[in-house]
Every structure is written in C-alpha cells, then in structure tokens.
C-alpha cells in the first residue's frame, strides 16, 4: 500500500530563517502532491499543489519541490515569521476517479521571534 512519511514531527527555527519540511512516499508515484496548513482546532487549508511533471512551484514565500526519483517533496518557507507557526501536512493524490488524498501525519513548525 502507499505510504507517506513526514520525517519530522516538529521543527523549531528562528524568525527570518528558511524552514524546510520533508515529505517522502513509497510505492506508486502520485499524480499530484499537495501541501496544507493546519492551525490548532481548525481544518486543513490548501497551500500549494505540484504535479508529477513539475520540479518546483512557488507562491510568495513558499516553495515546493517534487523529486520523483527520490520520491520526495520539500516544502520551504523563506523569511519565516512567528505567524507561520502551524502544522503542515503533505498529501498524495494518486489520481483516478475518486480524487482521494493520502495524508502524512504532519510536521509542527514553531518559529521563534
């Protein structure tokens, strides 16, 4: 079965630094990979989507890379701010007719001022 791992449960960094979160998967290559942000007591909110034929996608201070050889996606937040503190989830979309996502357990990012 497909497995997805976010190899850090928690990541603590200083304000202004770049945060890098890792998402690894096994078995099948996903059609798309998505990143979500989740704040305590709230539902996940979509951030970025990257397709299997894309190497990199950017949105403001966010950057996602997708390496199908390594079976890995990296999520970067540049010039991090305390407001970026949240749990970040990666999710695989295998495609098909259901559009189901397989979620990782998430990485809790804390940005200290």
Partner 1 sequence: NAGVTQTPKFQVLKTGQSMTLQCAQDMNHEYMSWYRQDPGMGLRLIHYSVGAGITDQGEVPNGYNVSRSTTEDFPLRLLSAAPSQTSVYFCASTLAGGTSTDTQYFGPGTRLTVL
User: Considering the rule CB under 8 A, would residue 30 count as an interface residue with partner 1?
Assistant: no
Residues 6+ apart with CB under 8 A from 43: none
* Contact characters 67-106, partner 1, x per CB under 8 A: ----------------------x-x---xxxxxxxxxxxx
Q: Report, in Å, the least distance between residue 95 CB and partner 1.
A: 6
Q: Which residues of 22-44 are buried (b: 16+ CB within 10 A; e: fewer)?
A: bbbbeeeebebbbbbbeeeeeeb
The smaller minimum CB distance to partner 1, of residues 80 and 90, is found at: 90
Burial class (CB in 10 A: 0-12, 13-18, 19+), 100: exposed
User: Considering the rule CB under 8 A, would residue 64 count as an interface residue with partner 1?
Assistant: no
Q: Report, in Å, the least distance between residue 99 CB and partner 1.
A: 2
Q: Any alpha helices (H) in 15-106, and if so which ranges?
A: none
Q: Count interface residues toward partner 1 (CB under 8 A).
A: 26
Q: Report, in Å, the least distance between residue 109 CB and partner 1.
A: 16
């Amino acid at each position: 079965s497909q497995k997805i791992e976010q190899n850090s449960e928690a990541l603590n960094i200083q304000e202004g630094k770049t945060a890098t979160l890792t998402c690894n998967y096994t078995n099948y290559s996903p059609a798309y990979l998505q990143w979500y942000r989740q704040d305590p007591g709230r539902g996940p909110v979509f951030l970025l989507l990257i397709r299997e034929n894309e190497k990199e996608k950017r949105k403001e201070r966010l950057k996602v890379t997708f390496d199908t050889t390594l079976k890995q996606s990296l999520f970067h937040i540049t010039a991090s701010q305390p407001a970026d503190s949240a749990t970040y989830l990666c999710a695989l979309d295998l495609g098909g007719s259901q559009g189901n996502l397989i979620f990782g357990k998430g990485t809790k990012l804390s940005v200290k001022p």
